[in-house]
Every structure is written in C-alpha cells, then in structure tokens.
Structure 1
C-alpha cells in the first residue's frame, strides 16, 4: 500500500512500523517511516501521528499469534489510533477491517475473537465522529495486479478472495473521496473496475 501511495499523485505517505529492521524496505521505496508499536500508550501513538492529514489503519496481529495479540492489536491498537487521531484533529480515517465481522452466524470458534475484535473496532470508529470509511475485504491474496472487484452490502454475495493490491488501490481511491465518508464497503475480487465499483456503491 505504501508503495502504491508513494507512486500516486497527491499522496505523501509515512509508514507506521513496529520493527527497526523494516525501515530498510521503506527506505528502498522512498517512503518515510515511524518506528513505534500499537502496543504503546495512546499518548505515544498520538505523538507519533501528530501533524498528519489522515490515518489508514490496516494493521493485524496475524494468524500465528494468540487471541491476546488479536485483542491487543486488532481492537485495542485500533481504538488507541482512533483516539489519537481525534486528539490531533485528524478527521480522515480509513479502516481496513474484515468481511463478515457483522455476521456472527458466519464465525467459526477459532476465528470468533478476530471477528469480535474487528467488529468492535469498527463500531468505535463509527462512534468517533471522524470522517471514516471502513473497507471489509475477504481473504487476502498476494497477486501483484489488483484486477477487478465487487462491493456489496451483503458479504454473502462476495467471492472468497481479493488481492492485497486491490485493497491498497481501493484505499487510495476512497481516501480523498468525500462521498465515501460514513460508508462500509464489503469487498472481494469481482467484475468491475475499482473506481467504478466504488462510485456505484457510495
């Protein structure tokens, strides 16, 4: 996402990264980075993002961590980031959540903590008063090309996968688009160009 944003006109991204060794990659694509952790205090996170115009939250604890990290990163880290944005007067906030996070009947026992964390983080953002857009992709894949997508209100109408690059391009498309404020986009690979799918949905 950072590379796509750095190559697009009108964006000056800064990556919020956890490990010092990740800096080399972002340096190689000429994207500034801030080394900090979502497990830090809200005050520390607030200081780290001071001066920015928007926040894109796409962090996740990953499938190899325990439920404690899911709560710490996907929920508490998101809430702290939302509050830090409010403290700094940063009105624009794009959240990358998860499809089906509002559909408890879909959740397996093993994925239940993940979906609960994503759902509660989204609800906190909705309550925040920020100019939010929430993207809820299905399972992510690593194709280089974003391809086409579909956006639905009903996640059961989605396909099963979507390239990360498509989610990144969708973030770039909605970020300056005021018509996407206050919208939740359940999304997967599909048959429409990204710009068209967004325009028709919002």
Structure 2
C-alpha cells in the first residue's frame, strides 16, 4: 500500500516510515524542508515536499492512505498549536477527501476533546487535537483515530492496552507507530477512535477487541 506520512521527520514519523517499509508498504514522507529529504530516503521512504499550512494536494494525490503524525511541538505557543495540530490536520483531511482517497489514520492524544482530563498546560493542545478529530469523524473517510498516552523513547514491546478510554499512562513511540500501521489492515479499527497505553496484549489481538 502506498502511504503518505505527514510529520515524517518527527520522532514517531520516522518510525512510521521505517516500519511501513519493513511491513511491505511504500512509504512517502511529507517534509517541509529540502534538507530533510535525505533522512526519509535513508529510512526507506520517498520524500515529498509540502507544508501542512499550504497546498498539500500534490502530496496526497495517488496515495492509498494517509497517516497524520505531525505536531507543533512542546516549545511552540498556542497559535502554532492551532495552525498545525488543528488547522494543518483539517487541511490534510480535506485534501484526502478531494482526491477520492478513503483511509486516514490520525495520531491524536489521550483525552483529546476532553481537555479537563489533562494537565492545565496541555489543555489548549488537547482541545485543538479534539477539534481536528471531530472534523475527521464527520467526514465520509474510513478513519482511525489513535489517542496514545505519554510518548516515550523506550524500546517497544508490541504489547498495549486499548479502549474508548483508558487510565492515563505512557507508551513507547515504537508501539504507537506499529499500532497505527496495524490499523491499515484491521477492519475492526475502521471508523473507530480509541486510547492507547502500554499493556499486556499483543497489538493485533488488542485491536480486535475495540
């Protein structure tokens, strides 16, 4: 499957490119800067230059699925969070619809849309992620929204806990990436939104219980 990864130069995005390639897919890494292209190629992906705040039609054209893994980052202000995490995501969703594609996987966040469940400093971010998720849920796309807990750089275990809501916790980025890729082929995840933390169940088995 030809899959576009938005935010491919981020920590989770790079893992997505690597694991998609290993899983037999053709990954396209969407990056904003010319100098970022070499890293995508090194990971086995095909770089595509595009900015979430502008025209992304050429990036999604011809792809079979889109994975949104972009983020404004923890050091940016509220305006950048709105621009990337909400408006950028919606811009990519609209382009996906316009080109007749079906599958869209969103990397969201635990408690998105329920900012009161999060720490005060994260509540604006959670609100923006929730609004992007809500927009996606209102489309006719075959979507999956993955809402992980705190992301770590620990080695993945491929064991998770999933549910409509789960207790707050952490999860390695590697396991988040593998879960999102598994959602491409697991029908039980289609048009579903779920939270995700580390657990005791293998990813593929856990996704069948949502």
Q: Return the TM-score normalized by structure 2.
A: 0.89
The structural deviation recorded for 1:39 is 1.6
Question: Out of 43, 67, 72, which is 1:56 matched to?
Answer: 67
Q: Does 1:21 align with 2:30?
A: no
Gaps of 5+ in 2: 1-15
Once the two structures are TM-superposed, the CA of residue 165 in structure 1 deviates from its matched residue by: 0.5
Equivalent of 1:164, from 151, 163, 173? 173
Tell me, in whole angstroms, the C-alpha distance in 2 between the residues paired with 1:21 and 1:91: 31
Count of aligned positions? 195
Q: Is the 8 A contact 2:81 2:128 kept in 1?
A: yes
Out of 169-178 and 126-135, give the one that drifted further. Answer: 169-178
Distance in 1 (CA, whole Å) between partners of 2:172 and 2:185 is 22
2:22 matched residue in structure 1 = 7
Distance 1:177 1:153 in 2: 17
> Following TM superposition, by how much is the alpha carbon of 1:179 offset from its aligned partner in structure 2, in angstroms?
2.3
Q: Which among 149, 161, 168 is matched to residue 150 of structure 1? A: 161
Question: Matches of 1:197 and 1:176 in 2, distance apart?
Answer: 14
8 Å contact kept, 1:146–1:169: no
Deviations 1:58-107, CA, capped at 9 Å, x for gaps: 11101011111100000000000010000000110000100011323223
User: Residues 1-202 of structure 1 correspond to what in structure 2 (within 5 A)?
Assistant: 1-9=16-24, 11-40=25-54, 44-155=55-166, 157-158=167-168, 160-201=169-210
Check conservation: 1:138, 1:188, Cα contact below 8 A: yes
SS of structure 2 residue aligned to 1:186 = strand
Which 4+ residue blocks in structure 1 deviate beyond 3 angstroms?
A: none
Whichever structure has more strand as a proportion of its residues is 2
Contact map agreement 1:135 1:185 (CA 8 A) in 2: yes
CA distance in 1, matches of 2:180, 2:42: 22
Give the deviation of 1:148 after TM superposition: 1.1
| Distance in 1 (alpha carbons) for counterparts of 2:153 and 2:172 | 6
Point out where structure 1 has 5 or more consecutive residues left out of the alignment. Answer: none
Q: Distance in 2 between matches of 1:88 and 1:7?
A: 27
* Distance in 1 (alpha carbons) for counterparts of 2:118 and 2:23: 37
